[in-house]
């Protein structure tokens, strides 16, 4: 009688061991695929936002007179920096595979001033600034609502605080 109980216990342990040997690699594989899928979604979101910025910059630039667009987008947390280079809007990102750079070709002159330090979703504004030539300014609420003096941009000839006054006219913000 004792041998039957011990034989059942050994068979039970062997079934558990075989199930563990099969299940552990499957769980690890599915976990890594899930993490990769999350990264792919974040990269796709970033590409969508970049393409929206480029499209809005083109629309605003070629609109007659003053033009402004507001994009209600939350920039993914893995985006470290957004800035402009000649002919491009650039996103520096850090993914699980390391740091990467995403370039979005833009045919209009842009100035990008976006603060990514706050984790809150803030609208991104795209506006045309004709005070020093034709530029498209892209900024978020953190920087667009500051006065020109607070941003340190008092002597650049641009309407940095969006009050429709250039630095020379803006005596309240630029002493």
Task: Note whether residue 35 is domain-resident.
Answer: yes
Task: Note whether residue 154 is domain-resident.
Answer: no
Summarize the confidence of residues 82-101 as an average pLDDT. Answer: 88
Q: What is the pLDDT of residue 140?
A: 78
pLDDT tens by residue, 3-58: 666 777 888 899 999 999 999 999 888 888 888 888 888 889 999 999 999 999 99
Long-range contacts of 29-35 (CB under 8 A, 24+ apart): 35/96
Task: Note whether residue 156 is domain-resident.
Answer: no
Q: What is the pLDDT of residue 55?
A: 92
Number of domains in the chain: 1
Task: Note whether residue 118 is domain-resident.
Answer: yes
Task: Note whether residue 157 is domain-resident.
Answer: no
Q: What is the pLDDT of residue 120?
A: 56
Task: Note whether residue 134 is domain-resident.
Answer: yes
Cα–Cα dist 163/136, whole Å: 16
Q: What is the pLDDT of residue 6?
A: 72
Distance of CA 14 to the CA centre of its chain: 50
Evaluate if residue 59 carries a pLDDT over 70: yes
Task: Note whether residue 69 is domain-resident.
Answer: yes
Contact of 134 with 163, CB cutoff 8 Å: no
Task: Note whether residue 152 is domain-resident.
Answer: no
pLDDT tens by residue, 104-160: 999 988 888 887 776 556 678 888 766 555 778 888 765 565 444 444 455 555 554
Residue 136: give the domain boundaries. Answer: 2-144
Tokens 């062997």 label which residue?
14
Q: Which of 39-53, 60-74, 77-91, 100-114 has the least mean pLDDT?
A: 60-74
What does DSSP say about strands 110-113 and 135-140: parallel, antiparallel, or unpaired? parallel
């Amino acid at each position: 009688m004792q041998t039957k109980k011990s034989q059942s216990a050994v068979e039970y342990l062997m079934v558990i061991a075989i199930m563990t040997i099969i299940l552990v690699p499957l769980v690890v594989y599915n976990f890594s695929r899930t993490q990769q899928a999350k990264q792919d979604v974040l990269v796709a979101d970033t590409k969508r936002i970049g393409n929206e910025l480029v499209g809005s910059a083109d629309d605003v630039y070629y609109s007659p007179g003053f033009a402004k667009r507001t994009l209600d987008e939350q920039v993914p947390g893995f985006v470290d920096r957004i800035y402009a280079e000649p002919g491009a809007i650039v996103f520096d990102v850090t993914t699980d595979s390391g740091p990467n750079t995403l370039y979005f070709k833009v045919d209009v002159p842009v100035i990008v001033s976006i603060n990514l330090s706050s984790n809150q979703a803030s609208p991104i504004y795209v506006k045309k600034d004709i005070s020093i030539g034709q530029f498209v300014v892209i900024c978020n609420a953190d920087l667009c609502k500051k006065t020109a003096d607070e941003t340190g941009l008092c002597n650049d000839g641009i309407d940095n605080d969006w009050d429709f006054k250039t630095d020379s006219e803006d005596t309240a913000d630029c002493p």
